Amino acid sequence: KGGKALKQFAVIGLGRFGTSVARTLSRMGHQVIAIDSDEAKVEALMDEVTTAVQADARDEEALKAAGIRNVDVAIVAIGENVEANILVTLIVKELGIKCVVAKAINDQHGKVLAKIGADRIVYPERDMGVRVAHTLASGNVLEHIDLSPEYSIVEIVAPARVAGKTLGQLNLRAQHGVSVMAIKRNDKILAAPGADDVVEEGDILVLVGRNKALERLQES
């Protein structure tokens, strides 16, 4: 599949988030060890991952037996039980896994995870809320990804008034400080388009820039 290096992952905690992460990685061709203390969660995913193991992830020996030390990335997707989430993050970090991604339910939780060495902290509920809100508030925004409090990537349907114009004519970078990363047209992607590329009606533009500028573009 492509030239992409395939990796080994462990996903610990197979709630809605963990299951979705494990399933997606597996479909991409990666090796996935999925772990949950709940037998039913493990069985539900068994056919879709490399190995599915029923174990309490607070048990270091059980994690070792599941082969956790071979993985490149461990994702701690335990949610509600913050104590278990923190403890398991600590254990997998101590087992020497290079990249540990942990799910946090709020900022305080995220701070603790950073202190104990989580390499990356994700806030799936909060981020999805932000994306859905932006999508709903503005009719033509299809996707919204926060890069920082000030910058985002958005996907918008090209407004009719820009159809037929080249990116050079639109001059978004000079006029708004917004760059066009890609143009999507009928399932095809034109990545890193140039000044001579023409925007057609119905195109989806993938833009990066300051939130203020992106909002202005959507209004104008």
User: Partners of 201 in the beta sheet?
Assistant: none
Asked if 185 is part of the footprint of ligand ADP (rule: CB under 6 A), the reply reads no
Triad 169, 174, 180: Cα angle to 5°: 70
Task: Single out the residue of 25, 34, 41, 92 in contact with ligand ADP (rule: CB under 6 A).
Answer: 41
- Pick the closer one to ligand ADP by CB: 7 or 58: 58
Within 8 A by CB and 6+ apart from 214, the residues are 152, 154, 178, 207
- Does 17 help bind ligand ADP (rule: CB under 6 A)? yes
Contact map string, positions 115 to 134, toward ligand ADP, x by CB under 6 A: --------------------
Q: Can you spell out the DSSP letters for 56-67?
A: -TT-HHHHHHTT
Contact window for ligand ADP (CB under 6 A) among 36-44, 128-136, 172-180, 205-213: 36-44
Tell me: does residue 83 bind ligand ADP (CB under 6 A).
no
Output the smallest distance, CB 169 to ligand ADP, in A.
46
**Is residue 80 close enough to count as binding ligand ADP by CB under 6 A?**
yes
Q: Which is nearer to ligand ADP, 63 or 154 (CB)?
A: 63
CA–CA gap between residue 102 and residue 64 (Å, rounded):
19
Contact (CB, 8 A) for 87 and 42: no
The residue (of 66 and 217) whose beta carbon lies closer to ligand ADP is: 66
Nearest-angstrom CA–CA distance, 12 and 84: 11
Q: Which residue among 25, 78, 118, 122 contacts ligand ADP (CB under 6 A)?
A: 78
By residue count, the chain amounts to 220
Q: Shortest approach of ligand ADP to residue 77 CB, angstroms?
A: 6
Which is nearest to 55 in space by CA: 2, 112, 104, 13? 13
DSSP codes, 103-172: E-SSHHHHHHHHHTT-SEEE-HHHHHHHHHHHHHHSTTEEEEEESSSSEEEEEEEPPGGGTT-BHHHH-H
Name residue, tokens 């490399």: 50
Our CB check for ligand ADP shows the closer of 9 and 17 to be 17
Residue 93 within binding range of ligand ADP, rule CB under 6 A? no
Per rule CB under 6 A, is residue 209 in the interface with ligand ADP?
A: no
Q: Is 52 in the site for ligand ADP (CB under 6 A)?
A: no
- List of residues contacting ligand ADP (CB under 6 A): 12-18, 35-38, 41, 56-58, 78-81, 84
